[in-house]
Structure 1
Amino acid sequence: MKVPSKIRIFAWRVCKNGLPTMSTLHSRGLIVNPICPRCNGSHETITHALWDCPNIQEIWRLGDYLDLIPRMASDIREIMLFIMDNDLTNLLEFFWIVAWYVCWHQNKYIHGDTMESEHDVFCQIKRLHDETKQLLPPPRVPVESTQVLWQGPEAGIVKINTDGATFDQDRGTGIGVIIRDSCGQFLAGLSHRNRGDFSAEVIEALAIQEGCLLAKEMGLCHIVIESDAQNVVLAVQSKRYEGPNVGNIIYSIVGLLSSFSMGHIIYCPCDSNKVAHMLAQHAREIDGRRVWRNNGPALIQHQLRREGMHARG
């Protein structure tokens, strides 16, 4: 995985003028010798301080990193780009610790301390590098997610999945409802676009309410509602009507569910609520309310077949 662009920009700026080398301090008016205090051979630019200086190159050699970097590199920015483009994580960590240590060591030298040997400097950098790696969390091991597909209800019961969606750019909000039998057979579906600006909790509650109303229109008696809005589902199950907006909708849902011979509501994960989600997103493309009976729109047919096959066997 390549280094993110923001880190690349930051590294580029640091390597351009971010370290207080002797040349940088001298150019800013401080009374210091611009010559590198380690080798006394050249002006201490950032490239010299972190790469060209023979004493610093000895530190890279002690870390077994010297041969990893192209010897023809003539600018520290070229070296940084090479490290990031080749995803050399350990080398990148070592590089930043060297940069920090050079800056810290420089400050000590300006205040009268003597220069330490390359071996002593390397040992301190390596110790800091090792301590830093121990503080970092262990790399995450990717875990294969198990997708939970839609499950059909018991025979004689229909399942109603609902979902709400919020749109940007003044497109309002959307509601999706899908009704299926125990074999996964499509009975009805709904997409409804609202112009109002509702919270996510309110739009999810409105979607559940729409599902109940559609079931009443169809004369259904035994239903189970599924929604991936866990807080709303828990509010309906516990009959707690909190909030001036969502509370009234939940009160209505509780009343609607009690009007069926059997009416329940349960929480489901997003993976098993995909068709309702697709219909909620489809509301972006329509005005008002669109209902399908017996045969749903083309956009959900593939998912319907997939979940229907799973429900049947």
Structure 2
Amino acid sequence: MVACSWLCERRNKEEACEVSNPKKGRKFKNFIWQLNCPSKIKQFMWRAYKNILPTIYCLKLRKIPIEDACGVCGKVESSGHALWDCEVAGAIWRESKLPLPSFKTSLCDFMDVVWEIWEEKREIIWECFATTAWCIWKNRNSLKFEGRGKAVKTLVKEAKLLVEEFSSKKIKEKQPMLSRTQAWSPPSEGWYKVNVDGVVFRESNSCGIGVVIRNVQGQIMGAMSKKLNLPLGVVEVEAKAFEEGLQLAGDLGLKQVILKGDAQIVTNALFGKCLPPTSIQMIITGARRWRHTVQEWKVSYVRRTRN
């Protein structure tokens, strides 16, 4: 009965706060959706604002029979406890080095922390704050349902990397697209143009290769994309793309091809204009064997915007 009474009081208090300052609430909700971070983190912050995260406190409000103790420290679990007061959450916030407020008593709602930062107009990177809170919540779920969590330093590092990754994507999106200064030009009669390119996926230690082959009319004679689970560098994967392009042309029975790629160091090495880097020396040395694949081949450098 005492627990039910306490929960009812908390619910009445929340409803009163929601009505008392609706302008403040609307302003903060708009602010959440304008954060420069993934939608899942914005949705998490919105749920924290509405106090509808599935904490034990919220589940009890919905009359779901459940143990009311935090799995880490045994205290009653509210959003304030799970995301701030719990010893695991506290360790993560301290490691984050964010300029956060301090409280003398335990918090029931995580939004108490948010409002303190918001009203004091602290100079804080909100994307870092929201992402760290989301990582704490994910870790809480792992501890609760899987019995294992991540180290504090690992979680803080993951939060920072996620913020950096999303920020870099936004910067790239804002950069103006370079216009093509010259349209695709056809090869000579009887020849085929083979455009090749490579890309490195550093986060997964893999890379990808793409090849498109066209005839003199611009018709696609063949195309290929391939993912390689190899930790190759940029130069290495570009050299591999040239090799794969020749192989595809040979498989299609083409005899005269022009290889075009945007890696100038590779094209110069194939031309014999410079010594190849050690990492691609085997591919460049093996280029003389490419005549067994096709009768005649040439190589040409093309700018990235035209490849």
Please indicate, yes or no, whether the TM-score normalized by the shorter chain is above 0.5. no
The structure having more radius of gyration, on CA atoms, is 1
Q: Which fold has the larger relative contact order, with Cα–Cα distance below 8 Å and residues 6 or more apart in sequence?
A: 1
TM range (shorter): 0.3 to 0.5
TM-score (norm 1): 0.39
